Structures are given as C-alpha cells and as structure tokens.
Structure 1
Amino acid sequence: MRLKNKTALVTAAGQGIGRASALALAAEGAQVVATDVDAALLKKAYEGVDNVTTAVLDVTDKAAIGRVIGGMPRIDVLFNCAGIVNNGSILQATDEEWEFAFNLNVRAQFWAIQAALPRMLEAGGGSIINMSSVCGSLKGLPSRFIYGATKAAVVGLTKSVAADYVRQGIRCNCIAPGTVDTPSLAGRINSYADPVQARKDFVARQPMGRLAQPEEIAPIIVYLGSDESVFATGQVFAVDGGMMI
C-alpha cells in the first residue's frame, strides 16, 4: 500500500485517464476524492468502490474548486487531469477557443494548486501532478496549435511551482502522454468524416503501433503521488509509446 494514509484529489475522474488514476490511487490505499463535471459519470465509475468519494466539480469555477478542496480533511496528492483538445492551425484558431482552452487546461490547474498548496505546506509536504502532453513543449504536432500552446504552458507552470517550493516539501511534476484510447479520443475520432481512417492515422503516429490504454498511464500517477518519487520535482514525465525517440 504505497499511498496508505494519503488523501488525493483527481479532476476529470469520470472516465479515461482520470478514472484509471483515481482507481489506481485508491487501490494503493489512498483516500481519493474523484471529481468531474458530469455527476452521472462519477456515479457509474465509482459505485461500490472503496476509498473513493465523489464530488461534482467544474474546474473553470474558482470558487467551486476552493469549496471542494477546503472541504477535504487534508490533501497530499493533487492530480490536475481535466483538459480539452483543440484541432486546427493558428489560422483556424478563434479567440473563443483560445480563451476556453487556456481556462480549462491551464487556469484551472493554477486555481487548484493555489487552493491546495497552503494545505500541503501546513501539513509539511505534498505532491502536485499536472496533465501536460507530448504535444507542446516536447513535440509539435499538426493541427494542435491551441492545444500545444496550453500544454507547453502547463510545463512552465509546473516548473515554476516546483522551483518556488522545492525546499518546503512540495513536489510538482507533470506527465506528457502520447495518444491514449479514451472516450474523449473516441468522440474526436467519430467527428471525422472517415472515423475508421482517423483512428488508423492516430495509431500510425505511435511508434509502438497502438494507442495507450488509460490503465497504462495510471502507474506514473501512483509513482508521483507516492514517496517513491520523493526526489523528483519540476519534471516532465513522458509516457508516449516512443513518440519522442
């Protein structure tokens, strides 16, 4: 039980990487608060699961983030998983898409960290894990202008928090997945004119010749949340199936 006596909060935990990570954290003994904007997803995902309580949370609502984190007895691990993927180049991007993506992918992480950090400092430490992507500061991908910009910003946010609190028991890292076979990806694939070909194209850009499963990303969250990673901070952990080779 690598996370016994720890309490964790996971955003976007209704499905995909968030759900897999919340379940993995709970399996290692953590008391997990799983949050999502969709109450039905939460109920379906965690009904009958020990060590997990759920809370409906819109992470673009700063006050709501404060209420959820403030209502926790303590917070040792924060996994900022919520995000959105935008398609298109800079010439196709709109101000509205840019603003919403930065609100969800970056500002929500800023707010959650700002709410959780004082509690962690008071307790003498904590682990913050942010969702970035292989697309962004690590690699440019076609038609991902807004998305790549937000995920690069997450890396800068992560390193800044890590640098400011490295001597106070706070670790802040981010993960950079490759393409993961989540319901979110399925929805984007189904929006293409030819979904079958679109899925083949997503698979083709993965050197391993397949997409990752959410359960293959969750172990890095457990590692970063546990004391096994006590000497790791300010890092980008790529779990990308070889995209950066």
Structure 2
Amino acid sequence: MTRAAEFGTGKDFDGLVALVTGGASGIGAATAALLRDRGARVAVLDRDPSGAPPGTLPIKADVTSDEGVRAAVAEAVAELGALHTVVGNAGIGALGSVEDNSDAEWHRLLDINVLGLVRTARAALPHLRRAAEDRPGCVSITHTCSIAATAGLPQRAAYSASKGAVLSLTLAMAADHVREGIRVNCVNPGTADTPWIGRLLERTGDPAAERAALEARQPAGRLVAAEEVAAAIAYLASPAAAAVTGTALAVDGGMQGLRLRPVT
C-alpha cells in the first residue's frame, strides 16, 4: 500500500473514473495514486506523463492547448468508459513583487493556472453531465488553489493573482453547475513539500535556512505533505461530500486562520 492509501479507507470510488491534470508529480501524483487505491480508474494528464502512478492511464497533454486538452479528455473517456471526477491540478509558480515579472510571465502564469482549468472543465463538462444522470452525488470538479488566494504572501504577486482567480472561478462554476449535479470545490494548500518547492529552495543562497523559514511560517511548524492535500481532494471528490459545493478547503497547517503568539 502506498503512503497515499493510508489517508483513504475503503473503495468509495469503485466504478468511478477520475482525471487528474498535472498528475505525474507532486500533489497531482499523490492524488492520482490515492484515487486509484480507493477504487477509481484514473487518467493522468501531464506534459510529461512518465511519472504517472502505476495503474493509472498516462496521457500526454498541455493545458495551454485547447485542442490538446479536448483530445486528451476524449482519449481518457474512450479508454475508461466515462468521467465522474476531474481534478484540475496542473499549475506553475512564480516569484516576485508586481514589479518583477514581465507581461510574458504574467500571461504564461494565467494561461496555465487559470485558463488551464477552464480548458479542462470545458472539455469535461459534457461527459460529467452524462455521468451525473447515472451517479448523482458522485460527479465533481476539484481545483488545486492555494493559501495565496486568501492571504497576502511576500514575493508572490503574480502567483497570488492567478490563485485568487482560481478561487473566484471555483465559486462561479459551483453556482453554474450545481443544478446539473456537478459539484465544484477547491483545496487551498499552504506551502507544500513538492518538487517545485524543492527547486525554489535550490535557487536560494541557503536552502536549509529558507526551508526552516517556510516551516516556521506555518503554525503547525512544518510543510504540508502532498499526500495530505490529496486526502482533502479525495474527500471533496468522494460521494461522502455529496452536499459540498462552492467550498475552499484549507490544508495549510493553520496558516490562514491562526495567529499564534511568538515563541519566547
């Protein structure tokens, strides 16, 4: 059993088909593995799907291409027979204040982090509507958002703007599709221990000190594990959350809501 499977119990996704974008690494891979372990048939869409968890269907796709996303979703449905759960996870990060990123960087960030979700949902919705007729309460879209959507973080202007858009998009989509039986939610991770954070730390002068600073920023005193975010995504996507839509679930070690006194 994988570590991801420890966070889920039973086979509550038996008979369901899930699609995870950016599912070959980090939070996406942890989510794909957990959904697989809980009974789903899972398609992983990624620019480099070689890291897709064993037992999932790897499909090469770039969320910046509407044609490519449509083809990938169609391939997943053709191979797996239906589509009940979409996890829009593909995304990139960026550092800097509002002065530091070029227009091209802003456009790329929004193209991937926001429009990538739009393209995925647009391609998936016809299949999700059909699935909702047969499996009420089991059809959902879950976005990977961020603590950056609800808290001001230094040196994250462009990234925060993109994730703020993801939060608003999630709420609007939930309103649009609730009467079709399609639930739409998002998770807001704090700083997660993912390959992107690892690359970010490597670019600093003192990676160990920077990691310690990131850990100290979270009240729990550590980074969030990818598997912990995956567990939250799996809950939102599961039949157990049939009454949950338009919700942003924080998985941040208390970073958003807690204000602890400094340790003396």
1:109-145 deviations in whole A, cap 9, x for unaligned?
0010011011111222620001110112x11100000
1:151 shift after superposition: 0.3
Q: Counterparts of 1:211-226 in structure 2 under 5 Å?
A: 211-226=223-238
1:204 shift after superposition: 1.4
What secondary structure, in the 3-state scheme, does the structure 1 residue paired with 2:91 have? coil
**What's 1:170 paired with?**
182
1:221 shift after superposition: 1.4
1:41 shift after superposition: 2.6
Q: Is the 8 A contact 1:173 1:234 kept in 2?
A: yes
Query: TM-score of the superposition, structure 2-length normalised?
Result: 0.88
Unmatched segments (≥5 aa) in structure 1: none
Q: 2:123 aligns with which of 115, 120, 144?
A: 115
1:64-118 deviations in whole A, cap 9, x for unaligned?
1101111212110000111111101111121011000000100000010011011
**What's 2:37 paired with?**
27
**What's 1:94 paired with?**
102
Give the AA of the match of 1:40. S
Give the AA of the match of 1:158. T
- 1:185 and 2:197 equivalent? yes
Hey, what's the Cα distance between the residues in 2 that align with 1:89 and 1:170?
37
Q: Counterparts of 1:46-85 in structure 2 under 5 Å?
A: 46=53, 49-50=54-55, 52-71=56-75, 72=77, 73-85=81-93
Runs of at least 4 residues off by over 4 Å: none
Give the AA of the match of 1:157. L
Hey, what's the Cα distance between the residues in 2 that align with 1:40 and 1:14?
7
1:16-49 deviations in whole A, cap 9, x for unaligned?
100110000001100000121114333xxx3xx3
- 1:128 and 2:138 equivalent? no
Distance change >3 Å, CA 35–CA 205, structure 1 → 2: same
Q: Which moved more, 1:122-131 or 1:225-234?
A: 122-131
Q: 1:6 aligns with which of 16, 19, 32?
A: 16
Q: Is the 8 A contact 2:23 2:49 kept in 1?
A: no
Hey, what's the Cα distance between the residues in 1 that align with 2:204 and 2:157?
18
1:220 shift after superposition: 1.0
Give the AA of the match of 2:114. V
Give RMSD over aligned pairs.
1.1
Q: Is the 8 A contact 1:174 1:237 kept in 2?
A: yes
Give the AA of the match of 2:95. N
Unmatched segments (≥5 aa) in structure 2: 1-10, 259-264
Give the AA of the match of 2:234. V
Query: TM-score of the superposition, structure 1-length normalised?
Result: 0.94
* Aligned pairs, number: 238
Give the AA of the match of 1:89. S
Q: Is the 8 A contact 1:3 1:225 kept in 2?
A: no
Give the AA of the match of 1:55. I
Give the AA of the match of 1:69. V
What secondary structure, in the 3-state scheme, does the structure 1 residue paired with 2:165 have? helix
Hey, what's the Cα distance between the residues in 2 that align with 1:89 and 1:2?
43
Among the aligned pairs, what percent are the same residue? Answer: 37
- 1:36 and 2:40 equivalent? no
